[in-house]
Amino acid sequence: MQMGNIVFITGATSGFGRAAARRFAAAGWSLILTGRRLKRLQALQDELGGRVPVHVAALDVRDAAAVRQVVGELPEAFRQVRVLINNAGLALAPQAAQQVELADWHTMIDTNVTGLVNVTHALLPTLIATGAGASIVNLGSVAGQWPYPGSHVYGATKAFVQQFSYNLRCDLLGSGVRVTDIAPGMAETEFTLVRTKGDQVASERLYSGTTPLTAEDIAEQIFYVASLPAHININRLEVMPTRQAWLPFAVDRD
């Protein structure tokens, strides 16, 4: 038996992904939740499964074969995905580029670029079959547009997300499938803890004394663009806290 609207979320175990799961569930959407931490997925399934159908699958998006397997083995009732939220991603190594381990660069590229490509490629046939109103929502970052010290490969991967989203729009013209790059600014999630490898003090310092975005703020924007009438596509949505803006150019002086 086919259900109503179905959303496929990567990185659903925390942050924007988990908040998006709750937001879509509140609107009655069926959920496919993926992430690397199965216990967190199961906890979210226990939380939301009484309201809407929920299917969970442990998944590392960097593994193309695993992505194909998860998509290929979706239960029949969950197969007609209407919205893909490519949320899985991370930042590592906020130090200057010359101080960073190469492995951290590779991890960001493999997750933020290769992982996003793996999932998108696997679900494109389904989304095209769904047609008008189907959506791909890619989680980018203001770092993909605006450089800052320590962003190096992270910012470059998010610039890829932006351009990949635009190029998908070109190729999918006429299919009815929409593509949006949502680019958050400062948002208080586990982002900084991951980036600093568990430095709670660094995380608290970043967000103290200001009002950052929340995961729920971004989830609301994701839901908004995915639930617009089928003839509307938001190409890119850059969302920053009111209390965050840009600094002048840095200048090296004698």
CA distance 143 to 156: 8
Residue ranges and CATH numbers for the domains of the chain are 6-238 (3.40.50.720)
Question: What sign for the dihedral angle of Cα 16, 19, 25, 31?
Answer: positive
CA distance 67 to 59: 7
CA distance 72 to 64: 12
CA distance 65 to 127: 19
- pLDDT confidence of residue 3: 61
Query: Catalytic residue at 207?
Result: no
Summarize pLDDT for 193-236 with one digit per residue, the tens.
788 887 788 888 889 999 999 999 999 999 999 999 999 999 99
Summarize pLDDT for 5-35 with one digit per residue, the tens.
999 999 999 999 999 999 999 999 999 999 9
User: Pick the catalytic residue: 148, 154, 166, 224?
Assistant: 154
CA distances for 158 relative to 69, 71, 163, angstroms: 26, 24, 9
Provide, rounded to the nearest whole percent, the portion of the chain with pLDDT above 90.
90
Please say if the pLDDT value at position 140 is more than 60: yes
Whether this prediction's pTM lies above 0.85 is answered by yes
Contact predicate 199/193, CB 8 Å: yes
Which of 96, 224, 109 shows the shortest CA–CA distance to 159?
109
